[in-house]
Amino acid sequence: MRRGLNYGGKGFKALEENRDMNARPLVRQHLLALKMKRWAQIGRSPSTYSNHRSAQARRNFARLYAKYPEIAKRLGLHAISPYPPL
């Protein structure tokens, strides 16, 4: 439990239960695809997005890539997509 925040008895549990995305399957896939493309873009060009760390963007992309490889394959993204070209 986080310190300094008063979640109450069942409030914290309710926050944990709402971590899943409540969306229709097609909308969910579209939202995940947008997230994946966004994190890849931030990792590829960190100077464009100065308010995000490139390492964090690459970790977020890696988590999404590991969890949803079929969406990444459909978008044409690879494991090295969030890294700048040499």
Whole-model pTM: value is 0.71
Residue pLDDT, tens place only, 13-41: 444 444 567 778 888 999 999 999 999 99
Say whether pLDDT at 52 is over 90.
no
Q: Specify the higher pLDDT residue, 76 or 21.
A: 76
3-state secondary structure labels for all residues of the chain: CCCCCCCHHHHHHHHHHCCCCCCCHHHHHHHHHHHHHHHHHHHHCCCCCCCCCHHHHHHHHHHHHHHCHHHHHHHCCCCCCCCCCC
